[in-house]
Chains A and B, each alone.
Chain A
C-alpha cells in the first residue's frame, strides 16, 4: 500500500482474496516452490518491489523459511544458532512483533526463545509471508513493531502433482529431502508435505568449525479442502514438526527434542456479489513441547533439565464487506487462550535436585476485534483506517508459581486484565503518473509477554543476567508515523521511506544489585521494567533498474536507530545494510550475483555489555536451471554464498559466533 496507486491497491487486494480462496494457478508456475503469489502481500504492504532476490531462496530447497525471511523487506533475524532465528522488524522483536501461522497464535515453549514459530513452516509448505511494519500488522495481533504471518500452502482442486527434491549445503555438510503430493478432484483436495533436514556443525569463514551448530528435523503437514458449494468450503490443516539435537552455539544449552503439533479447521465463504464478500471462520489448537539439553556440553557446572510446554487454542472470524462504493471493509474478531509452563530442575553433585518453574503455569486469554476500512476517496487519493481493541486476562494458575513470585513481593493471586487500544491511518496520494506518496500515523499498545510478566530467573546469555518478570509492568505504547515516496518509470523505480516511533513504557531489564544471580556464572539479576520512553527511527531506500527484459538490478538499503530516554542506544539495533543484486535471465537459466554489505555498528548499549560489530561485505552467486521433459519438470539450483569466505558476524548474532563461511549449495526439485 505504500507504493501503488489507490486503485491498484484495491484491485490487488481483491485479487489476493480471490487467490486465497480459489487457488488461482499462479502458484504452479515453474521455478518456484509454490510460494509467490501471495508474496504480493509483502510487496503491497511492506516492500517496495517484488523482491526477486527472494525467488532464489524459494526455488532453492536447501533454504529454510528463516533464510527467506531474512531476505525480505524490513525483517532482520536475531541469531542464537544456525536454527531458530528470531525475526525482528526495524529493530523491534519478541513481544513487540506478532508472529502467526495462518493467523493462528502460537506461543513458544522455550524460555530462551529458541523456538520462534517460523521454524514450523518449511518453504515447501509456504504459500506466502505477510510482513507488516508497525501498526499495519494489527490485524494479526496487538503489536507495535509489526507482524509476520506465514501462510501455509493449500491443496489444489482437480490436480494431481508430485514433487520431490533434495539439497546439499557444503558449509554445514547439510542435506535435506522433501516430498510433496497434491491430489484433488473438483470437490476435495489433499496436500501432503514432508521434509527432512540434517545439518552438521558449520564452518565459519577461514575454516573454523562452530561447535553446537548442528540440527536435525522433520516436518510433516497435511492439508485438506472440501468444497461445500460454489461459494464455500471447509479446510483443515495439520502440522507436525519434530526437531532434535539442535545446537545453539550462542547459548549454554541445546535442544534435545522439540515438538510442535498444529491443528486447524476452517470454513471459508466467498461471494463477490454479496455485501459480505468473504468470511472465514477458523478454530485451531497447537501444542508445543520443548526439551533443552546440556548433556553434550563440556564442563557444565551442573546438569539441568529445562522442559517447557505451551498450548494455545483459539478461533477467529474474518469478514470482508462491500458496504459502500469505493469502500472495502474488513471485520475480524478473535479469541485465543494460551497456557505456558516451563520448568527447571538442577542436579547438584551432592544433595537434592532443585526445582523451579521458570514460566509458572501462566495462562492468558485474549479477545479482540479488528476493523479496517479502505476508502478510495478519488482516483488519486486512498485512505485506510484500522483499529484493534483487545482485552487480555493473564493469570498464574498454580500456587507454586504464585509463591515463587511472592518472594519478589508480587501478588499474583488475581488476574491481570488489560485493554489494548490500537489504530492506524494511511493516506496514499498519487501526484502524477510517476510519483506517489504515502503518509501514515498509528498508535499501538502491547501487553508485556508472559516472560516479561511472570518469568522466573530466565537466563539471558546476551547480557549474562537472570531475568525476573514483573507482573506490575505497564503496557508499551507506541506512536508512530511513516512517510514514503516513490518515483517510477518503465525502467526504474526509486522508493524512500522514513519512519519514526516513540515507545512509551518501553520494557527492558533493569539491574537490581541487591539480588543474587541464580544461574552459575551469571552477572546478576535484572527485573523487567518500564523505561519512560524509547525512540526508533530509520530510513529505507530502494532502487530497481530494469534496463531490459532479462536484466534486473535491485539495491535496498535500510537503517535503524534506537535510543532510550537518555539518548543511549538500545541493544540489538541493526546497522546500516545494503543488498544489491543483479539478475540476468537467459532462456532457462537465471544467474544472480549479490553484494551484501553491513556497516559497523558502534551504537551499542554498553550498559548491557553489548559489543560493537565490524562491517562486512559478502558476495553471493546463484544460478537456477529449469528443464521440462514433457510432464516432468526438473529444477536445478546452485550457488556459492559468502564467496570470499569472509569471517564475519552480524550485529544481531548473539555470542560473538561467526556466521558460515563459503557455502556451496545445490538443490534439485522434480515435479510431475
Chain B
C-alpha cells in the first residue's frame, strides 16, 4: 500500500513537472479560443492560381466514407491572411481509372466565413483504396474579385460500422445514398437522429431529395428488443431528415430504416449500427 502511494505521488509529481515543461516548450499551447483551426487537422492544400489564394481543407478527423463535415480555409497568397468573404464551390471526384464519379456535397451556405473558415459537407461514397479522391474547390475571392480552382487530393478511409448506405429504390429504381449524420456522442436516453438522402444522376450529380418518408426502428440485435417513443425523421432542408432515436441501455444497437415514397416501398432493408 505504502509503495503504491509512493508510486502515485511520484507519478503525480512527474505529471505536474511534465505538463509544466510542455507549456514552456510550446508557448502557443494554451489554445486561443478564437483560433479557427483549433481542434482541426489539415487534410490537404493546394493553390487556386487564378484567385491568388492558397486553399486548405480541414477536418476534425481523417476523412471517411460517408458524411464529412469539412472546413475550407482560403488564404491570400501574398499576405497569408485568411479570406473571409468568398464564394466557394466544391466538386469532389473519384478517379477509378476505368471510370470517374462525383459525390454528394453541400457548399458553404454563405459567402461570409464562419470564424474565418467556410464549413461545408462532402459525402464520400467509397474509400481511396479503389481509386483516388480529389476535391476541386472553386474560389471567387470577393475581396480581390479573382477566381480560380484548387485541386486537393484527399485520402478517404472506410468506416465501420458503415454510416453510408446505398440502395436501388424498389418503386422507381432510383439509386439513393443515405448518409447517417452521427451526433457527436450517443447516450442512453433520447438522441437526435439525422440522415441525408441524395439521389445519383448518372453518378456525376447527386441532388438531395426531400420527398421520402422514413420510419426508424432501433433494435438490439443480440436481444431482439427495441425502444419506445422514437420520432421518425422528417425532412428539414437540403435532403436532411431529422428525428429522435431512443436507447434504453448501452451496447450495440441497430437503427433500422424503412423508406417510403408516396406510400410505395423504397427500401426496408437498410440499417445503421451504432454503439454506446
Contacts and interface: CB of A to CB of B under 8 A. Distances in A.
Q: Do A and B come from one complex?
A: yes
Interface of A: 302, 344, 346, 348-356, 400, 402-404, 406-409, 456-457, 514-518, 520
B36 interface: no
A560 to B, nearest CB: 36
Nearest to A351: B252
A409 B190 CA distance: 9
B228 A407 contact: yes
A407 B251 contact: no
A406 B222 CA distance: 23
Contact of B252 (A352, A409, A514): A352
20 contacts: A346-B251, A348-B222, A350-B222, A352-B250, A353-B251, A355-B249, A356-B248, A356-B249, A406-B189, A407-B190, A408-B229, A456-B248, A514-B228, A515-B228, A516-B224, A516-B227, A517-B225, A518-B223, A518-B249, A520-B223
B134 interface: no
A354 B189 contact: no
B224 A403 contact: no
A356 B188 contact: yes
Contacts of B221: 351
A404 B222 contact: no
Contact of B227 (A350, A407, A520): A407
Nearest to B219: A516
A526 B33 CA distance: 50
Given A403-B187, A407-B190, A516 B226 contact: yes
B189 A407 contact: yes
Contacts of B222: 302, 346, 348-351, 354
Interface residues of B, number: 23
The 5 closest A-B pairs by CB, nearest first: A403-B189, A354-B251, A348-B222, A356-B249, A351-B252
Given A348-B223, A354-B220, A408-B228, A403 B190 contact: yes
Contact of A356 (B187, B224, B228, B250): B250
B254 to A, nearest CB: 10
B215 to A, nearest CB: 14
Given A352-B275, A514-B228, A515-B228, A407 B248 contact: yes
B105 interface: no
Nearest to B252: A351
A401 to B, nearest CB: 9
Contacts of A514: 228
Interface of B: 187-190, 219-229, 246-252, 275
A638 B128 CA distance: 83
Instruction: Label chain A's interface by main secondary structure.
Output: loop
Contact of A516 (B187, B189, B225, B247): B225
B248 A302 contact: no
Contact of A354 (B219, B228, B250): B250
A351 B228 contact: no
B246 A351 contact: no
Contacts of B188: 356, 400, 403-404
A510 to B, nearest CB: 14
B247 A407 contact: yes
Nearest to A400: B188
A354 B221 CA distance: 11
Contacts of A408: 228-229
B246 to A, nearest CB: 4
A515 B218 CA distance: 12
Given A408-B228, A515-B228, A355 B251 contact: yes
B130 to A, nearest CB: 29
Nearest to B223: A520
Contacts of A404: 188-189, 248-249
B248 A518 contact: yes
Contacts of A456: 248
A302 B222 CA distance: 9
Contacts of B251: 346, 348, 351-355
A409 B249 contact: no
Contacts of A400: 188
A520 B223 CA distance: 6
A645 to B, nearest CB: 43
Contacts of B248: 356, 404, 407, 456-457, 518
A413 to B, nearest CB: 12
Contacts of A352: 250-252, 275
Contacts of A518: 223, 225, 248-249
Nearest to A520: B223
B224 A520 contact: yes
Nearest to B273: A351
Contacts of B229: 407-409
B187 A354 contact: no
B248 to A, nearest CB: 6
A408 B228 CA distance: 7
Contacts of A349: 222
